[in-house]
């Protein structure tokens, strides 16, 4: 053994230094060495504290780098999908631009067709108007014709009546002629008798015979004249009858033509009404065509704007595709760098963990851990700790438990999702989630968990984390965990 500053270095000092060499940073140098021991012990405590903080920081970095790496991988997959969708979108935009161009051509044809329809509708409307005017004039002319036909019919019927009356008069004349002929026959007979009597009278009757002879001649002439008159009247009567029949027939025809004309006027009236309806419809069609033309022109303008928009969108999609490809390439580089960083972080964390976890557990430490597990096990079925309305009562229960077992640095209750519900220290509840922690994963799976030793960032002491599942009717509904100090 030797001396240091007047103090003797004992076996206890040597043993303590060997424990420190084994990375047991709970070991202190005995105080007999005075200020030297104090300085060394203070340095050991600083190392232990800083190592604990570095351990926690490296663990957090490792966890976060894993999450970030996983997120980047998902982001890369998402961007690959986005890139494909952008490609598809760009292709669809090109196809739609072509369809819109075709639509624009169709709209131009539609507008041109609307203009032609408008012109055609106007021409048809004008033609129907002219036809209406023509029908009105034709109707007036037909009315005149009907009136003339009716007048002609009446005149013809009057003429036929007069001719019939004339034929009757001729019959009366024939009776008179028959009487005259009878008188002529009698006169001729009288002349014959007078001639006979004159012949008997001899010389004295010669003058009378001459008179009788002349009377006979006159009777003969009268008879011949009567026969001629009779023949003429008979012929005239036949002609009058024939004319009457022809006039009657023609008047019947005139009457039929008048009826046809009346029907024609009625038909023309119907045609005029239909023409008016057609004209009204054509005017509506003309108005609708004008509206369609205006709408077509508006749609044409909108389609032009839409085509421009589609072109802009297509251009933007091309830029997006280029940008997404560029971003994807950069994200791949970042992912590679992050993976490398994660690897280095894991190496650092592994080194620090191996340093802290190398602490040999003494029997005292093991007993302390076993007592902590037993204390937590008594709370495994207390589901009231999980209820929010019991938060204040639950915190007091956990504080009492921590006071009864001073080795507890903190006791925490987690729900089935890993959310921190209440703890033995005064902190904000329902905020932190520890679903990523090993002590939660193991306990929620139904196991009793005990971590390797680590250094607490709060106290600088060596600790282990222990956790157990909270059960209700055999079902796991939460986790109770604690940081147990090994000091």
Shared domain for 296 and 388, answered yes or no, is no
pLDDT for the residue 393 = 92
Asked whether the beta carbons of 409 and 436 are under 8 A apart, the reply is no
CA–CA dist 385, 398 (Å, integer): 9
Q: What is the mean predicted confidence (pLDDT) over 416-424? A: 94
CA–CA dist 400, 192 (Å, integer): 190
Shared domain for 185 and 268, answered yes or no, is yes
CA–CA dist 240, 234 (Å, integer): 10
Q: First-to-last CA distance in the chain? A: 29
pLDDT for the residue 283 = 73
Last residue of a domain, which of 327, 360, 393? 360
Rounded to 5 degrees, φ, ψ at 109 are: -65, -40
Q: What is the mean predicted confidence (pLDDT) over 187-194? A: 74
* 202 within domain boundaries: no
Return the higher-pLDDT residue of 438 and 184: 438
Rounded to 5 degrees, φ, ψ at 477 are: -120, -5
Last residue of a domain, which of 328, 345, 360? 360
Last residue of a domain, which of 297, 328, 360? 360
Shared domain for 167 and 274, answered yes or no, is yes
Chain centroid, CA 438 distance in Å: 52
Confidence of residue 290 (pLDDT cuts 50, 70, 90): confident
Among the listed ranges 231-235, 294-298, 409-413, which one has the minimum average pLDDT value? 294-298
Shared domain for 333 and 382, answered yes or no, is no
CA–CA dist 75, 332 (Å, integer): 10
Q: Which of the listed ranges 175-189, 302-316, 394-408 does the model predict with the highest average pLDDT?
A: 394-408
- Give the percent of the chain with pLDDT over 90: 20
Confidence of residue 1 (pLDDT cuts 50, 70, 90): low
Shared domain for 66 and 179, answered yes or no, is yes
Shared domain for 356 and 448, answered yes or no, is no
Reported as a single tens digit per residue, the pLDDT across 49-107 is: 776 676 667 666 766 666 676 776 776 677 677 667 767 766 776 776 677 677 667 76
Q: Which helix (H) or strand (E) holds 170?
A: helix 35-201
Structure tokens at 443: 């306990």
The torsion defined by the Cα of 137, 138, 144 and 146, in degrees rounded to 10, comes to -150
Q: Residue 469: which of 368, 381, 372 has the closest Cα?
A: 381
Q: What is the mean predicted confidence (pLDDT) over 199-207? A: 71
* 284 within domain boundaries: yes
* 198 within domain boundaries: no
pLDDT for the residue 422 = 93
* 205 within domain boundaries: no
pLDDT for the residue 368 = 94
Shared domain for 367 and 350, answered yes or no, is no
pLDDT for the residue 104 = 66
CA–CA dist 438, 83 (Å, integer): 37
pTM for the predicted model, two decimal places: 0.44
pLDDT for the residue 55 = 65
Shared domain for 255 and 354, answered yes or no, is yes
Q: DSSP label at 360?
A: P
Q: How many residues does the chain have?
A: 487
User: Residue 483: is its pLDDT beyond 90?
Assistant: yes
* 10 within domain boundaries: no
pLDDT for the residue 445 = 96
pLDDT for the residue 97 = 67
Structure tokens at 222: 């009268």
User: Residue 369: is its pLDDT beyond 60?
Assistant: yes
Reported as a single tens digit per residue, the pLDDT across 272-287 is: 677 677 767 767 776 7
Rounded to 5 degrees, φ, ψ at 102 are: -60, -40
CATH assignment at residue 393 = 3.30.450.20
User: Residue 466: is its pLDDT beyond 90?
Assistant: yes
pLDDT for the residue 153 = 66
Structure tokens at 410: 């903190």
Asked whether the beta carbons of 468 and 443 are under 8 A apart, the reply is yes
* 219 within domain boundaries: no
Shared domain for 152 and 261, answered yes or no, is yes
Strands (DSSP E) along 374-474, which ranges? Answer: 408-415, 420-423, 449-450, 454-455, 462-472
Q: What is the mean predicted confidence (pLDDT) over 169-183? A: 74
Reported as a single tens digit per residue, the pLDDT across 17-31 is: 787 777 677 767 887
Q: What is the mean predicted confidence (pLDDT) over 437-441? A: 94
Confidence of residue 356 (pLDDT cuts 50, 70, 90): low
Confidence of residue 412 (pLDDT cuts 50, 70, 90): very high
Q: DSSP label at 433?
A: B
CATH assignment at residue 106 = 1.10.287.950
Reported as a single tens digit per residue, the pLDDT across 235-254 is: 777 777 777 777 778 777 76
In which domain, by residue range, is 443 found? Answer: 362-486
Tokens 């300085």, residue located: 39
CA–CA dist 420, 77 (Å, integer): 32
Confidence of residue 443 (pLDDT cuts 50, 70, 90): very high
pLDDT for the residue 13 = 78
How does the average pLDDT of the chain come out, rounded? 77
Q: What is the mean predicted confidence (pLDDT) over 420-427? A: 89
Confidence of residue 137 (pLDDT cuts 50, 70, 90): confident
Per the structure, the count of domains in the chain is 2
Produce one character per residue of 86-106: b if its CB has 16 or more CB atoms within 10 Å, e if not: bbebbeebeebbeebeebbee
* 160 within domain boundaries: yes
Structure tokens at 62: 């490792």
Shared domain for 313 and 392, answered yes or no, is no
CA–CA dist 195, 210 (Å, integer): 8
User: Residue 415: is its pLDDT beyond 90?
Assistant: yes
Shared domain for 399 and 327, answered yes or no, is no
- Give the percent of the chain with pLDDT over 70: 72
CA–CA dist 392, 425 (Å, integer): 11
Q: What is the mean predicted confidence (pLDDT) over 431-447? A: 93
Shared domain for 399 and 481, answered yes or no, is yes
pLDDT for the residue 418 = 94
* 343 within domain boundaries: yes
Reported as a single tens digit per residue, the pLDDT across 206-231 is: 676 777 677 777 777 777 777 777 77
pLDDT for the residue 484 = 95
**Could you count the other beta carbons within 10 Å of the beta carbon of residue 276?**
14
Q: What is the mean predicted confidence (pLDDT) over 120-138? A: 71
What's the sign of the alpha-carbon dihedral 446, 450, 454, 456?
positive
């Amino acid at each position: 053994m030797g001396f240091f500053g007047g103090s003797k270095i004992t076996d206890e000092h040597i043993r303590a230094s060997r424990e420190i060499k084994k990375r047991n940073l709970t070991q202190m140098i005995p105080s007999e060495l005075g200020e030297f021991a104090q300085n060394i012990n203070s340095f050991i405590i600083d190392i232990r504290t800083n190592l604990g903080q570095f351990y926690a920081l490296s663990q957090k970095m490792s966890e976060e780098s894993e999450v970030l790496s996983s997120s980047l991988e998902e982001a890369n997959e998402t961007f690959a999908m986005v890139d494909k969708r952008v490609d598809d979108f760009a292709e669809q935009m090109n196809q739609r631009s072509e369809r819109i161009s075709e639509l624009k051509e169709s709209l131009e044809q539609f507008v041109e067709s609307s203009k032609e329809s408008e012109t055609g509708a106007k021409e048809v409307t004008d033609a129907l108007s002219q036809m209406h005017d023509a029908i009105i004039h034709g109707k007036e002319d037909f009315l005149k014709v009907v009136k003339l036909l009716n007048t002609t019919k009446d005149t013809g019927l009057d003429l036929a009546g007069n001719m019939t009356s004339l034929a009757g008069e001729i019959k009366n004349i024939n009776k008179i002629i028959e009487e005259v002929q009878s008188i002529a026959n009698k006169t001729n007979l009288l002349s014959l008798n007078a001639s006979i009597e004159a012949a008997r009278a001899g010389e004295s009757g010669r003058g009378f015979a001459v008179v009788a002879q002349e009377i006979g001649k006159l009777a003969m002439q009268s008879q011949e004249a009567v026969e001629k008159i009779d023949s003429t009247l008979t012929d005239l009567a036949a002609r009058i009858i024939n004319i009457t029949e022809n006039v009657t027939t023609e008047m019947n025809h005139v009457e039929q033509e008048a009826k046809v004309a009346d029907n024609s006027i009625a038909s023309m009236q119907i045609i005029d009404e239909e023409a008016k309806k057609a004209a009204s419809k054509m005017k509506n069609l003309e108005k609708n065509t004008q509206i369609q033309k205006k709408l077509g022109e508006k749609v044409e303008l909108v389609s032009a704007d839409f085509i421009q928009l589609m072109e802009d969108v297509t251009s933007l999609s091309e830029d997006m595709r280029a940008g997404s490809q560029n971003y994807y390439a950069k994200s791949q580089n970042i992912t590679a760098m992050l993976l490398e960083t994660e690897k280095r972080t894991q190496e650092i964390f592994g080194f620090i963990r191996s340093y802290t976890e190398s602490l040999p557990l003494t029997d005292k430490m093991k007993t302390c851990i076993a007592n902590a597990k037993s204390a937590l096990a008594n709370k495994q079925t207390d589901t009231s700790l999980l209820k929010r309305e019991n938060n204040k009562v639950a915190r007091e229960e956990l504080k009492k438990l921590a006071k009864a077992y001073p080795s507890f640095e903190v006791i925490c209750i987690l729900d089935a999702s890993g959310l921190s519900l209440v703890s033995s220290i005064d902190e904000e509840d329902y905020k932190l989630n520890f679903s990523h922690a090993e002590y939660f994963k193991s306990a929620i799976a139904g196991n009793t968990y005990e971590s390797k030793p680590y250094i607490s960032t709060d106290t600088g002491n060596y600790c282990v984390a222990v956790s157990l599942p909270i059960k209700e009717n055999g079902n796991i509904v939460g986790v109770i965990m604690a940081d147990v100090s090994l000091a």
